[in-house]
């Protein structure tokens, strides 16, 4: 459930955002985790034996990894295409330095230059603290990146950001037919392969629908599910 203060801000921000997107394409970015098996099933962790006394200790006391191996992927897309992905090295968080250097400078700016050189775009990041760090916003202002200012950004509106659906489609492709892998390097190769095969026209239509989705919230408000 969203707080009343959030709901009020969402209404105001969506109104502003809808107006800003009237003659512009939106660029969305996001990060998502991919695991080796895409499985969250906790079962089948036990062993079975007709004689526990004869069961080797290596089976009875098999070590289990405390943390699931996973890889974090960043990407941006718009009605014109998909950016180069960034695969975050294991153990590294997307802090303001990483976000600025790897996501904004190395990937977002080239994407803008290639697909949105006419400046008819609006970059809409989410409200993560690293996205609005002074070093990041200062760089974007200095390089004339058209982005949604923090005070204009509606909080907690995943229903307005179709990039959430993009991840569902991509993961459906990556883990199709219960696909599994044994290493993060193999997983990275698989993700890159699926990105090349994804229906680009569908992705473009999803991005183009952003203003329509924002408009629904603007007109009708947020519909909370009980």
For residue 61, the model assigns a pLDDT of: 43
- Burial (0-12, 13-18, 19+ Cβ within 10 Å), 13: buried
**Domain positions in the chain:** 4-38+65-220
Q: Looking at per-residue confidence, does 11 or 123 come out higher?
A: 123
Of 52 and 119, the structure prediction assigns the larger pLDDT to 119
Is the pLDDT higher at 63 or at 38? 38
pLDDT at position 21 over 90: yes
Please tell me the pTM assigned to this model: 0.84
Residue with tokens 């080796």: 36
Q: Which residue has the higher pLDDT, 187 or 8?
A: 187
pLDDT at 111 over 90: yes
The confidence score (pLDDT) of residue 144 equals 96
Mean local confidence (pLDDT), 194-221: 94
Integer Cα distance of 23 and 18 in angstroms: 10
Instruction: Report, in angstroms and rounded to the nearest whole number, the Rg of the chain calculated over CA atoms.
Output: 21
CA angle 18, 22, 27 (to 5 degrees): 75
CATH class of 4-38+65-220: alpha beta
pLDDT of res. 46: 41
- Which whole number is the average pLDDT over 98-109? 97
Query: What average pLDDT does this structure show over 193-199?
Result: 96
Give me the percent of the chain exceeding a pLDDT of 70. Answer: 85
Distance CA 159, CA 216 (A): 10
Nearest-angstrom CA–CA distance, 201 and 207: 10
Tokens matching residue 151:
């005070």
Contact at 8 Å (CB) between 211 and 26? yes
Mean pLDDT of 72-88: 96
Instruction: Please check the confidence at residue 40 and state whether its pLDDT lies above 70.
Output: no
Summarize pLDDT for 164-192 with one digit per residue, the tens.
Answer: 899 999 999 999 988 888 899 999 999 99
Measured between alpha carbons, how far is 20 from 5 in angstroms, rounded to an integer? 23
């Amino acid at each position: 459930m969203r707080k009343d203060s959030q709901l009020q801000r969402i209404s105001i921000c969506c109104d502003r955002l809808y107006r800003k997107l009237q003659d512009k394409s939106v660029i969305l970015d996001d990060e998502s985790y991919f695991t080796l098996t895409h499985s969250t099933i906790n079962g089948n962790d036990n062993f079975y034996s007709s004689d526990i006394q004869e069961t080797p200790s290596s089976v009875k006391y098999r070590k289990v990894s405390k943390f699931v191996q996973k890889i974090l992927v960043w990407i941006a897309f718009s009605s014109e295409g998909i950016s180069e992905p960034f695969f975050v090295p294991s153990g590294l968080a997307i802090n303001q330095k990483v976000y600025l250097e790897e996501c904004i400078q190395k990937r977002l700016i080239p994407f803008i230059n290639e697909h949105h050189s006419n400046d008819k775009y609006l970059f809409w990041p989410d409200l993560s603290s690293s996205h609005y760090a002074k070093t990041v916003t200062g760089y974007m202002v200095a390089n004339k990146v058209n982005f949604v200012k923090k005070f204009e950004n509606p909080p907690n509106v995943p229903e307005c950001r179709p990039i959430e659906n993009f991840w569902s489609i991509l993961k459906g492709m990556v883990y199709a037919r219960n696909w599994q892998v044994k290493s993060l390097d193999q997983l990275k190769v698989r993700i890159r392969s699926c990105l090349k095969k994804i229906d680009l026209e569908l992705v473009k239509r999803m991005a183009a629908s952003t203003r329509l989705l924002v408009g629904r919230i603007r007109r009708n408000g947020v519909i909370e599910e009980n």
